[in-house]
Structures are given as structure tokens and as C-alpha cells.
RNA sequence: GGACGGGUGGCAGAGCGGCUGAUUGCACCGGUCUUGAAAACCGGAGUUCCCGAAAGGGAAUCGUGGGUUCAAAUCCCACCCCGUCCGCCA
């Protein structure tokens, strides 16, 4: 959510921003409504002032006669208040609705065009003597996953992991957590569910036809799409001492996505699934630190994939392609040799600087010396490891001609073996 | 799931229909004193919104949402949360 005052004072900028982001927003309508709201509030408050005055007069009344006259006056004011106030409430919630629909501002250097920008490509793509297998075939051959049983039990786009598949996932989680702890993050396991209001605060939309979110019947709980939601929610309505910032959390959770509208798009195997496990970086910071923090998160993501010996490229996401809360977003796309005819890039991480957009909705502020009152924190998130997709990258890049998979050195201590698919 | 008790400002903790945006203590900020600090004393201070160029004025806010009343932190209802006891249970 943006500050209404900011929108009023920078209407042209906000309009241009919405346009560039391809988010249809009627700023003029919003401002008109907001003006109407202000006028109504003034009116309502004047009535309330009179009500307060009348209430005071009541107890000062000298005779019963005078008293009942004043009370009658109070009754009339009350009726007037009720009718005016109902309208004011209506306009107020309409204003908030419109306000919620306006996306965050964007970093001046973020790509503006239709296309995302590849910032750099890192690592050598592996060479294979024959056509490499895709991860589904590798999983089948080595007994790492079972998609057929999952289809019976939960339907399409679920999976069981088995054998070394389980060990590989756990190794990836522990490798990511260890890396983040070394970077000063506090590991946190979070609930896999959250209230709809928390989802909304983070910018997710729990209801509606296009929603990516599962809801739990007869409750106001949703299955989370990422630990970003629960980590952000931890500090909802809190005021943080500036000396306690930054707060760096490494969240471990399951993630659930309905993938509505994704039918037919790369749905095979582990790439697009309804449930996966993810280690997520999350940071609350002061505004002056958020850009540096964003760069650092990106660097950590790169370090993790370098450790996995997986070639990747860094994508600076076009603002026409970013989610509403993001001010700037980088993705890592890993090389997946088994995808398509000759390998393809596949998104494996994403890091966003959401500035104060989520903080304003969730009421997360900080206070400190040198300034009066409180300010909104900046909030950033980034994927450390999304298990399914990281597994694809590892399995497809490190497959060997004998059908086994080499475990990258960084994972060996966590995996307890150097090769997947060999006895022992 | 059942029975109680409770949710008040940054924290602690009074108030239990009008004089209370709220006593008090701690913490906080400014000042006096001091070589400096501590102590003591004096003063200041919540948040959001509306009007206003500003000075300033006004409204709301005592878990959340409704209700009763001329008037509610205080009474009633629903919900959420937090304690304690009982039952059930990995």
C-alpha cells in the first residue's frame, strides 16, 4: 500500500508508474473519492463535536425541563450522525480498496520494457555425450520420487520423495540453513498456515478466481504460498527498536500453490507442484539499508548455486512483470539440461525489495533516536532454496553417463555420500 | 471440547456510566545542579485522521466488531487472543 498523501502529492508519478507496470489504476478516481471522504469526515466530526458539547450540557442542566430539551437535541444529533457516518464509512472502505490495488513504486534502474534483462551468466553448462535425461527420468531410474502414487492420493502435481530423493532434499535444506546462519540469519520454522488478513497484508490475494492460495474450509486460514507470509506476519503491528534492526530470518516452511491457470505449462515432475519445501531469506531493515540488503540477498543466492555447481543467470525483472509489492526483483534461473529439446533456463530463486509497501499494510514500524515518532521498516525476501526446483537443477546438471548423479562437494557433508544411485 | 479469570498508553498497573485520553510507577526526551556521571528537582511527550499556509483547532482511539444511552474504558452481545483448572490427545 502506498501512502495516500504521497499519491496526492505525486499523482503524475504514480500514474506513470502504474502504467509502466501494466496495472490499470484510476488515480483520478481515487483522489476524487479521497477528497469526498475528507469532506464527509469533516462534516461527521463537526456533528460529533456538537454531540460532545450536548452531552456536557446535560449534566449541567438546572431543571428537568431544560434537561429533557437538551436530551432531545442529543437524540437528533445522534440520528444525523448515524446517517452521515454510514456514508463516510462506505466511502472510506471504497478508498481503501482502490488504494490496495495500487502497486508499489519502482526502482529507477529496474527495466521498463516488455523484456526482462539478463544481468550476467555464471558457470559452465555441462557437456554430455548423449542427450541428457530430464529429472523425471532420473528420479524414475534411481527411485528418488514417485509421481504415480501421488496422482492417486492427491491428484496431479504432487509427489512422493523416496530414498536418496529424501536425503537430497534434506541436504539442500541443511546446506541452505547452514549458509544463512553463517550470514547472520536466524533460522525459523513457521506455521504452514496463516490468516487471510496476513496474506492480504503481504500482498497476496486469498480469494477470487485467479488466486494461487488454498484456503481451509470453515476457518479464515490459508495454506501459505511462501514463508514470506508468516515471517512478515511475525512482526505485524509491532514497533521495533532501531537498534534491533536489521532482523534477518531464514524461514523453513512448506509452500502451497494452486497453480490456477497454469495447466499445460511445464507441469511435468517437480517443476510446477502444489506443495514444496523452501528455505526463505527475510529481512526487516531501515530504508537506507534496503538496497544494499537486496544486493546482498542476491549475492547469497548466487553463492548457494555456485556451491551447487549449477550454471545460472541473473535476471533483473521488468517492472511490467513484477508483483504489486515489489520495488525491484531479481530472479536466478538455473540451467536445466533435461528441459525441452536442448535444455532450458528455469527459475529457481527470486528476491524482492518491497520497501515499505508491506510494512504499511501490516503496521510494522521502527523507532529510534534522532527522529520523532515511528517510521515504516523496509521488508525484503529472497529464496535460498526452493527444494523441488533446486533438485531438478542438481540432478540434471550432475547426471553421469553411467546413470548415477554426482553430489556436488558442498552437499556431500549434508548428504553423507558422493554419488546418488550407487550402492552404499 | 468444558469451567473460570483476564486483555487499558513503550512497559508495569489504577479506573468500572458523565469531572478520565485516562491516577501512579518505571523507561524516554529537554532543562537546572555537577569537573563529568549518578541522585534530586522542574518541564515535555502516544497514535491515526480532519480543517488550516502556519500558529492552532477538532475528531477518533482503553483486544476487534456490533448494541444500549443525550453520554461508555466502564453496561449488553458476538468474535479473537492470553492465563488457570478439567477432559482428550501426537
Grid cell at residue A1:
500500500
Does A93 share its domain with A159?
no
Can you give the pLDDT at residue A338?
94
**Nearest residue by alpha-carbon distance to C1' of B51:** A42
The answer to whether A79 touches A274, Cβ cutoff 8 Å, is no
Residue that wins the pLDDT comparison between A340 and A107:
A107
The answer to whether A397 touches A184, Cβ cutoff 8 Å, is no
Catalytic residue positions of A, numbered: 257, 272, 347, 350, 389
Does A29 share its domain with A128?
no
User: A24 lies in a domain?
Assistant: yes
Strand B contacting residues by CB (7 Å): A 4-5, 38-39, 41-42, 45-46, 48-49, 51-52, 54-56, 58-59, 70-71, 74-75, 77-78, 239, 369, 372-374
Interatomic CA distance for residues A178 and A386, integer angstroms: 15
Q: The complex's ipTM?
A: 0.84
Residue–nucleotide distance: A209 CA to B26 C1' (Å): 53
Considering A57, A74, A100, which residue would you say is the last residue of a domain? Answer: A100
Residue recorded with cell 554419488: A419
- Work out the average pLDDT over A308-331: 96
User: A111 lies in a domain?
Assistant: no
- Give residue A369's pLDDT band: very low, low, confident or very high (50, 70, 90): low
Strands A328-336 and A239-241 turn out to be unpaired
Residue–nucleotide distance: A247 CA to B6 C1' (Å): 32
- Strand B: which nucleotides have any atom within 7 A of a protein Cβ? 10, 18, 29, 46-51, 58-60, 70-71
Task: Detail the DSSP E strand segments found in A137-266.
Answer: 145-146, 160-161, 186-189, 193-195, 221-223, 239-241, 247-256
Can you give the pLDDT at residue A73?
87
Of the candidate ranges A176-185, A301-310, A336-345, A381-390, the one whose mean pLDDT is the lowest: A336-345
Does A52 share its domain with A137?
no
Q: Say whether pLDDT at A261 is over 80.
A: no
Can you give the pLDDT at residue A263?
63
Residue that wins the pLDDT comparison between A60 and A27:
A27
The answer to whether A255 touches A287, Cβ cutoff 8 Å, is no
Residue A213 CB contacts under 8 Å (≥ 6 apart), including other chains = A199, A204, A205, A206, A207, A222, A223, A225, A256, A257, A258
Following DSSP, what letter does each residue of A100-140 receive, concatenated? HTSPPP--TTS--SSS-EEEEEESPPP--SSPPPPHHHHHH
**Nearest residue by alpha-carbon distance to C1' of B10:** A239
- Give residue A370's pLDDT band: very low, low, confident or very high (50, 70, 90): low
CATH number for the domain spanning A350: value is 3.30.930.10
Considering A68, A100, A132, which residue would you say is the last residue of a domain? Answer: A100
- Work out the average pLDDT over A342-352: 96
CA distances from A218 to A127, A190, A222 (A): 53, 22, 11
Does A9 share its domain with A150?
no
Can you give the pLDDT at residue A114?
83
Grid cell at residue A224:
501459505
Can you give the pLDDT at residue A113?
85
Q: Which domain holds residue A22?
A: 4-100
Grid cell at residue A128:
554430455
Per-residue model confidence as pLDDT tens digits over A67-102: 888 888 888 899 899 888 988 888 988 888 888 889
Residue that wins the pLDDT comparison between A217 and A346:
A346
Domain total of chain A:
2
- How far does Cα A52 stand from its chain's mean position? 45
Does A94 share its domain with A124?
no
Interatomic CA distance for residues A164 and A327, integer angstroms: 39
Interatomic CA distance for residues A346 and A359, integer angstroms: 31
- Give residue A265's pLDDT band: very low, low, confident or very high (50, 70, 90): low
Does A327 share its domain with A387?
yes
- Give residue A423's pLDDT band: very low, low, confident or very high (50, 70, 90): low
Does A244 share its domain with A173?
yes
CA-wise closest residue to A314 among A300, A336, A298, A332: A332
- How far does Cα A398 stand from its chain's mean position? 31
Grid cell at residue A86:
454510514
A41: nt with nearest C1' to CA: B50
Of the candidate ranges A73-87, A182-196, A235-249, A262-276, the one whose mean pLDDT is the lowest: A262-276
Considering A72, A100, A128, which residue would you say is the last residue of a domain? Answer: A100
Q: Say whether pLDDT at A264 is over 70.
A: no
Q: Say whether pLDDT at A244 is over 60.
A: yes
Residue A314 CB contacts under 8 Å (≥ 6 apart), including other chains = A118, A119, A120, A121, A122, A298, A302, A330, A331, A332
Per-residue model confidence as pLDDT tens digits over A195-234: 888 998 898 887 776 788 998 888 888 999 999 999 999 9
Residue A256, SS3 per DSSP:
strand
A38: nt with nearest C1' to CA: B50
Does A199 share its domain with A287?
yes
- Name residue A31's beta-bridge partners: none
Does A131 share its domain with A69?
no
User: A109 lies in a domain?
Assistant: no
Grid cell at residue A272:
510446477
Amino acid at each position: 500500500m502506498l501512502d495516500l498523501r504521497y499519491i496526492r502529492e505525486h499523482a503524475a508519478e504514480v500514474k506513470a508508474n502504474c502504467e509502466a507496470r501494466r496495472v490499470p489504476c484510476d488515480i483520478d478516481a481515487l483522489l476524487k473519492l479521497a477528497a469526498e471522504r475528507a469532506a464527509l469526515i469533516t462534516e461527521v466530526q463537526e456533528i460529533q463535536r456538537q454531540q460532545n458539547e450536548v452531552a456536557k450540557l446535560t449534566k449541567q442542566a438546572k431543571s428537568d425541563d431544560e434537561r429533557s430539551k437538551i436530551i432531545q437535541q442529543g437524540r437528533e444529533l445522534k440520528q444525523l450522525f448515524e446517517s452521515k457516518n454510514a456514508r463516510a464509512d462506505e466511502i472510506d472502505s471504497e478508498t481503501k480498496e482502490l488504494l490496495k490495488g495500487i502497486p508499489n513504486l519502482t526502482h529507477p534502474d529496474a527495466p521498463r520494457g516488455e523484456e526482462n534483462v539478463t544481468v550476467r551468466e555464471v558457470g559452465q553448462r555441462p557437456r554430455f555425450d548423449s542427450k541428457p535425461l530430464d529429472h523425471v527420468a532420473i528420479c524414475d531410474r534411481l527411485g528418488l520420487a514417485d509421481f504415480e502414487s501421488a496422482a492417486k492420493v492427491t491428484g496431479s502435481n504432487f509427489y512422493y520423495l523416496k530414498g536418496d530423493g529424501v536425503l537430497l532434499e534434506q541436504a539442500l535444506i541443511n546446506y541452505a540453513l547452514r549458509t544463512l546462519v553463517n550470514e547472520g540469519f536466524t533460522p525459523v520454522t513457521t506455521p504452514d498456515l496463516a490468516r487471510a488478513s496476513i496474506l492480504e497484508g503481504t500482498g497476496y490475494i486469498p480469494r477470487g478466481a485467479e488466486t494461487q492460495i488454498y484456503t481451509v474450509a470453515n476457518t479464515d486460514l490459508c495454506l501459505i504460498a511462501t514463508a514470506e507470509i508468516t515471517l512478515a506476519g511475525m512482526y505485524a503491528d509491532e514497533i521495533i527498536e532501531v537498534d534491533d534492526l536489521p532482523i534477518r530470518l531464514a524461514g523453513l516452511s512448506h509452500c502451497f500453490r494452486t497453480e490456477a491457470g497454469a495447466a499445460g505449462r511445464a507441469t511435468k515432475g517437480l517443476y510446477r507442484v502444489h506443495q514444496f519445501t523452501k528455505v526463505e531469506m527475510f529481512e526487516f531493515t531501515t530504508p537506507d539499508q534496503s538496497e544494499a540488503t537486496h544486493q546482498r540477498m542476491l549475492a547469497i543466492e548466487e553463492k548457494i548455486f555456485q556451491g551447487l555447481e549449477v550454471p545460472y543467470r541473473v535476471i533483473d525483472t521488468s517492472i511490467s512483470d513484477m508483483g504489486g509489492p515489489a520495488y525491484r526483483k531479481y530472479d536466478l534461473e538455473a540451467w536445466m539440461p533435461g528441459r525441452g529439446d536442448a535444455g532450458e533456463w528455469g527459475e529457481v530463486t527470486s528476491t524482492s525489495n518491497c520497501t515499505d509497501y508491506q510494512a504499511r499494510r501490516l503496521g510494522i514500524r521502527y523507532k529510534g533516536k534522532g527522529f520523532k515518532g515511528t517510521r515504516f521498516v523496509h521488508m525484503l525476501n529472497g529464496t535460498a532454496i526452493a527444494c523441488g526446483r533446486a533438485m531438478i537443477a542438481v540432478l540434471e546438471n550432475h547426471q553421469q553417463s553411467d546413470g548415477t548423479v554426482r553430489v556436488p562437494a558442498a552437499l556431500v557433508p549434508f548428504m553423507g555420500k558422493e554419488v546418488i544411485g550407487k550402492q552404499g
